[in-house]
A and B are shown apart, each in its own frame.
Chain A
Amino acid sequence: AQSVTQLGSHVSVSEGALVLLRCNYSSSVPPYLFWYVQYPNQGLQLLLKYTTGATLVKGINGFEAEFKKSETSFHLTKPSAHMSDAAEYFCAVILNQGGKLIFGQGTELSVKP
């Protein structure tokens, strides 16, 4: 069963435009949610995470995400895209206390000048 779904395998925006990358999850217990970024030929690095508390989470490089329990969503946004944001972005969830970290299929972000 798919636990994390990212809508859109490829998103293209113009420099300066809003970035919106979508993530929905399925979990019967309160999830821990993450966004990771992968630059070409590199490993993944953490952008931001939601565990408990404030539902709007701010991360590095101007990214933020909002946990919406009613929509089972954790979409990633950035008000103004920069060329350096071009990368692949992964939403991830930990499903249980055992710490099984599961990733979505990834969304490749392209930024046009």
Chain B
Amino acid sequence: DAGVIQSPRHEVTEMGQEVTLRCKPISGHNSLFWYRQTMMRGLELLIYFNNNVPIDDSGMPEDRFSAKMPNASFSTLKIQPSEPRDSAVYFCASSLDRGFTEAFFGQGTRLTVV
């Protein structure tokens, strides 16, 4: 398996634009996590899904952020409109058995909002 695949790897956008980050989890995994990493706040859990259903989105910072998982092989994290403070590295991770065994991380998307 190719592992968790995130796209794009890098994204530079202007303030106010819509940004969509994509994630393909490992086949057969039933849990998917979105994290944001910054120097100031560390690694924050934004939202996680189990069997394509959002279980906890309490970490989503504002209504500008939304996440979907239309099927077991694809998830998106959307920011609309984007702001400079959204600049961060966004990681997607997937796991079997809700992360109790191991969460596998993608390479991340480095987002810069100017």
Contacts and interface: CB of A to CB of B under 8 A. Distances in A.
* Main SS class of interface, B: strand
Interface in B72-87: none
B113 interface: no
Interface residues on chain A, size class? 20 to 34
A34 B95 CA distance: 14
Given A42-B107, A43-B108, A45-B105, A102 B45 contact: yes
A44 B93 CA distance: 9
Contact of A106 (B43, B45, B97, B100): B43
A100 B50 contact: no
A94 interface: yes
A103 B43 contact: yes
B6 to A, nearest CB: 9
Interface in A36-51: 41-46, 49, 51
Contacts of B31: 99
Contact of B42 (A32, A100, A104): A104
Contacts of A98: 50, 55-56, 98
A101 interface: yes
Which of A34, A43, A103, A104 has the most B CB atoms < 10 Å from its CB?
A: A43
Contacts of A77: none
Nearest to A46: B102
Nearest to A45: B105
A36 to B, nearest CB: 8
A45 B56 CA distance: 23
Given A100-B48, A106-B42, 6 more contacts: A43-B106, A44-B93, A99-B31, A99-B100, A101-B103, A105-B43
Q: When A and B form their complex, which 10 residue pairs have the shortest distance between CB atoms, in order from nearest?
A: A99-B98, A43-B105, A105-B42, A103-B43, A101-B99, A44-B105, A46-B102, A99-B99, A43-B107, A43-B106
